[in-house]
Amino acid sequence: MTKPMLRKIIHVDCDCFYASIEMRDDPSLLGKPIAVGGAPNKRGVVATCNYEARAYGVHSAMSSQRAQKLCPDLLFIRPRFDVYRAVSKEIQQIFQDYTSHIEPLSLDEAYLDVTDSPLYNNSATYIAKIIQQRIHQEIGITASAGVAPNKFLAKIASDWKKPSGLFVITPEQIDSFITHLPVHKLHGVGKITAYKLNRLGIYTGYDLKQWGRAELLRAFGNFGEKLWHLARGIDERPVKTQRRQSVSVERTFQEDLPSLQHCLTKLPELIDELNNRIARLDENYKTGKPFVKVKFHDFTQTTIEQQGAPLDLDSYQTLLKQAFERGNKPVRLLGIGTRVIDLQDIIEQLTLFN
C-alpha cells in the first residue's frame, strides 16, 4: 500500500453560527433556548439552534413544530441572512491572513490547508488557535477547530470538543484514534449505512479494519473501497478553492416512500431547508435552474432539471412527477436543488474580452 499524503489541514466550524450572532446582538437571549428558522405555525424548519435548545433534543433541519413540542419555551427568531453573510465575510478575511488555500463549506465553516505556511514555524495547531482567538475577539462569537493530516479527520476533530474547542490528531495518532472511532462518524456514512455496518458487527474503526477490501466491496459496492481507506485514516481529497456549482438538500428515509403522493408531501420541508441554504450563498452567486434527484428502493436513481423554471413548489412538484415516472417504484432518497451561476466568472470573462 502506498503511503498516504499527509497535509496540515484545519477545519474551522463556528458554534451555532446563526444563534450565536443573534445572542451577540441581543444579550437578553443569553441562557435561553433559541432557534433560528421558520415559525412552527407555518411549517417552518430549524436552521440552527443554541446549546440550551439542543439539550432538549432540538437540532437543525428539524421541523419547527417538532422542535416546539420538545422544548415548549423555545424562542423562534427569523433569520437575518444579510447579517450572517456580512459576518461570514469578516471570518473569511481572517482566514485569508493565514492561507489562500481555503475551501468554504458554508457561511460558518471551512477547510484551510496550511501545509506550506511559513507562519508560526509551520505550526497548524498554533495557527488554528490564533484564528479561534481572533474570531472570538473581532467577531464576538466562538468557533471550534480541528487539526489533522487530512480533511476527513480534521472535520471530525473540530466536532470533538465543541463548543470553542481545539482538537489535534497528529500522523502518529491516526491508528489509535480510528481504532475507537464509531463508524457513524466516518465521512459519507449515514444512518442507513451505519445500520448495515452494525448488523455486520462493525461498530468501530477497529471492527472495520478487520474486513478486507474485497469483502467490503462485496458488501457495500464501490463505497466499500472508501470504507477500506477510511478505516486506515486515508483521505487524499485536496482542499478545493474552486467555486461551487449547485446548492441542494437531500433526505434519506428510514422507510421507503411507496408512492408519488407520499413523495410530494415531503417537498415543502425540503424547499424550506433549500431556501435557508440559498440564503447562505455568497453574493457572488446567482441561482439558476432547479433540479430534483430521486433514488429508488433498488438504488437506481435519476436527476431531472429545467432551464428557466422558478424555484417554487410548482416547479419542484412538476420535476418530481417526471422523475418518479422514470422508475415508478418506492423511493428511498429525495433531493432538490438549484444550479448556481458564479457572477465572478462572468466578470472575469467580460474583463478578459474587453
The CATH fold of domain 175-230: DNA polymerase; domain 1 (1.10.150)
Q: Note the CATH number of domain 246-350.
A: 3.30.1490.100
Strand ranges in the chain using DSSP code E only, listed in sequence order: 9-14, 34-37, 46-49, 75-77, 102-106, 109-113, 143-148, 166-168, 246-257, 285-296, 301-305, 331-342
Q: Note the CATH number of domain 9-16+82-173.
A: 3.30.70.270
Q: How does DSSP assign 185-253, residue by residue?
A: GSTT--HHHHHHHHHTT--BHHHHHTS-HHHHHHHHTTHHHHHHHHTTT---PPPP-SPP-EEEEEEEE
Domain 17-80: which CATH number of 3.40.630.10, 3.40.1170.60, 1.20.1600.10, 3.40.50.1000: 3.40.1170.60
Asked if residue 282 belongs to a known ligand binding site, the reply is no
Per-residue pLDDT tens over the stretch 136-172: 999 999 999 999 999 999 999 999 999 999 999 999 9
CA distance 103 to 110: 5
CA distance 260 to 282: 34
Query: For position 3, what pLDDT does the model report?
Result: 62
Instruction: Provide the whole-model pTM.
Output: 0.71
Q: Decide: helix, strand or coil at residue 333.
A: strand
Query: For position 270, what pLDDT does the model report?
Result: 93
Q: Is position 255 annotated as part of the catalytic site? A: no
Query: For position 191, what pLDDT does the model report?
Result: 84
The angle subtended at Cα 309 by Cα 305 and Cα 310, nearest 5°, is: 120
Asked if residue 108 belongs to a known ligand binding site, the reply is yes
**Active-site residue identified among 103, 109, 269, 273:** 109
Query: For position 263, what pLDDT does the model report?
Result: 96
Query: For position 348, what pLDDT does the model report?
Result: 38
Query: For position 242, what pLDDT does the model report?
Result: 63
Q: Which residues of the chain have pLDDT under 50?
A: 345-354
The angle subtended at Cα 98 by Cα 95 and Cα 101, nearest 5°, is: 75
Answer yes or no: same fold for 9-16+82-173 and 17-80: no
Strand ranges in 86-192 using DSSP code E only, listed in sequence order: 102-106, 109-113, 143-148, 166-168
What are the residue ranges spanned by the domains of the chain?
Answer: 9-16+82-173, 17-80, 175-230, 246-350
β-pair partners for 104? 110
Percent over 70 (pLDDT), the chain = 93
